[in-house]
Structure 1
Amino acid sequence: MMETLNFRFEHGRRLLPPQAQLSGVVSSGNLEVLVEAAALNGACAIEIKTAARGFGAIWEAVLGDFQQRWQLADARIAINDMGATPAVVSLRLDQALQAMTGSAP
């Protein structure tokens, strides 16, 4: 059974271009990330669907670090996970944002 986790980070500063960006596939590194601009009053909302249940605190730490680096505003991120490590999660998120923005954090 899959677990769904939702996180919301307020007061970001970096806006995204209007096109969506997909990074990775579930069968490659066990993680797929979809990033898109969305009207969220300056927030970044992240939804994770994961087969690895009980790791909410680790997800929160990895995503908090990601948001601290990128400072996203008005962004929605969907993650489909089949057991990726925190390092792969960070890599896929950074890959998606770098492809979308053309820059590093």
Structure 2
Amino acid sequence: MERFKFSYPATQPLPAQAQAGVVGSGDLEALYQPQLGNTLNINVMTSVDGSHGLWQHFFDRLSALRSLPSGQLDLHDFGATPGVARLRIEQVFEEAGDANQ
């Protein structure tokens, strides 16, 4: 297991915490916790050794495509493809954003 930490510029936090996916299902679990500030702090725990560069590129691209909410994003990866990772992250952000509506 490897662990990585990343930080990216962010906008306002989403209104609630949220969870998407289940690591036991064999892909990826995403947990979001809103925090005031202008940074999204990301912790990745992955079963895929040597994947730091892939995750770095993934988040560089994601932050270029969309604004990120401030807060804490914890990812528990069990070999998810980039498509599944993007889906789970978008799902957790959507759930956190829709929580109070």
TM-score (norm 2): 0.86
- Between Structure 1 and Structure 2, the one with more helix by share is 2
Q: Equivalent pairs: percent with the same residue?
A: 28
Equivalent of 1:76, from 72, 79, 82?
Answer: 72
Aligned to 2:46: 50
Contact map agreement 2:13 2:70 (CA 8 A) in 1: yes
> 3-state DSSP class of the match of 1:48?
strand
Q: Identify if the C-alpha distance between structure 1 residues 3 and 32 changes in structure 2 by more than 3 Å, giving closer, same or farther.
A: same
Aligned to 2:2: 3
TM-score (norm 1): 0.83
Superposition pairs for residues 11-90 of structure 1, below 5 Å?
12-17=10-15, 19-39=16-36, 41-90=37-86
Query: Which segments of 5 or more consecutive residues in structure 2 lack a partner in the other structure?
Result: none
Could you tell me how far apart the structure 1 residues matched to 2:91 and 2:33 are? 14
Equivalent of 1:92, from 78, 88, 95?
Answer: 88
Counterpart AA for 1:55: S
Instruction: Summarize deviations over 1:27-65 as a string: whole Å, max 9, x none.
Output: 2251100011123x3111000001101011110111222
Counterpart AA for 2:11: R
